Amino acid sequence: MDEAFPGDIIGLPNHGLLHLGDTLTEGEELQFTGLPFFAPEIFRMVEAADPMRNKQLRTDLMQLGEEGAIQVFRPMSGGTMLLGAFGQLQFEVVAHRLQSEYGAEVRLLPARYAMARWVTSEDPVALKKFMTENNHRMAEDVVGASVFLAAHKSELDVTQQRWEQIEFHALREHAGLIYQTEMKELSLVRGHNRRSIDHV
């Protein structure tokens, strides 16, 4: 296709290369303010009804997460993937899409977590220490940003008081592949992202 006009809808084949919020240009270097991602309020563990499909399920969930259909978290310590949402309907829609579009029947199970905060720090060493000591409560989202998970607000409050060098964010700005590339280039710690805003 050589030209398009305002209002035209253009379909692009995409296998994880384009993310929600990406900008396509003919070579200009543009950087727009990213779309805001708010910390979810409800969490569910998700597993395949057929254990043989667990690996494929992870790939399917990451694609839905990249679309922005739901927030997907991979625990850094391994184990069951987590979904984050703002209402029960989001989980039901995702479960339906997994079954109808990907042929994957899933089970949604209660999760012990009730809060999530993206974490950053001006001190990479402090951030690395924080992530190591809290590995069992750390996860990564679809772009590899580091997330601290808490079971209740008092747990989050105590953690914030103890780790004064760590910043906890209730909102993350999603700026597409530029954001993702910068995350991967950090040598000390993944997740040291300064575009996160909105401190608790």
Domain 37-110 has CATH 3.40.50.620: no
Residue 175 · residue 34 · CB < 8 Å: yes
Average pLDDT over residues 127-152: 94
For the four alpha carbons of 15, 77, 120 and 167, in that order, the dihedral sign comes to positive
Q: What is the pLDDT of residue 167?
A: 92
pLDDT of residue 177: 37
Mean pLDDT, residues 162-188: 63
Q: Lowest-confidence range among 54-63, 152-161, 180-189?
A: 180-189
pLDDT over threshold 90, residue 94: yes
pLDDT score for 199: 45
- The tokens describing 193, both together, are 């992202």
Rounded to an integer, what distance in angstroms lies between the CA atom of residue 118 and that of residue 182? 16
Of 172, 164, 122, 178, the closest CA to residue 146 belongs to 172
More confident site: 86 or 197: 86
- For 115-199, the fitting CATH number among 3.30.70.270, 3.30.70.3280, 3.40.1350.10, 3.40.640.10 is 3.30.70.3280
Within the chain, all domains assigned CATH 3.30.70.3280 are found at: 37-110, 115-199
Share of the chain above pLDDT 70, in %: 80
Can you give the pTM of this predicted structure? 0.75
Is the pLDDT at 9 greater than 60, yes or no?
Answer: yes
pLDDT at position 44, please?
97
* pLDDT, tens digit (0-9, with 9 covering 90-100), for 31-53: 666 677 889 999 999 999 998 88
pLDDT at 26 over 90: no
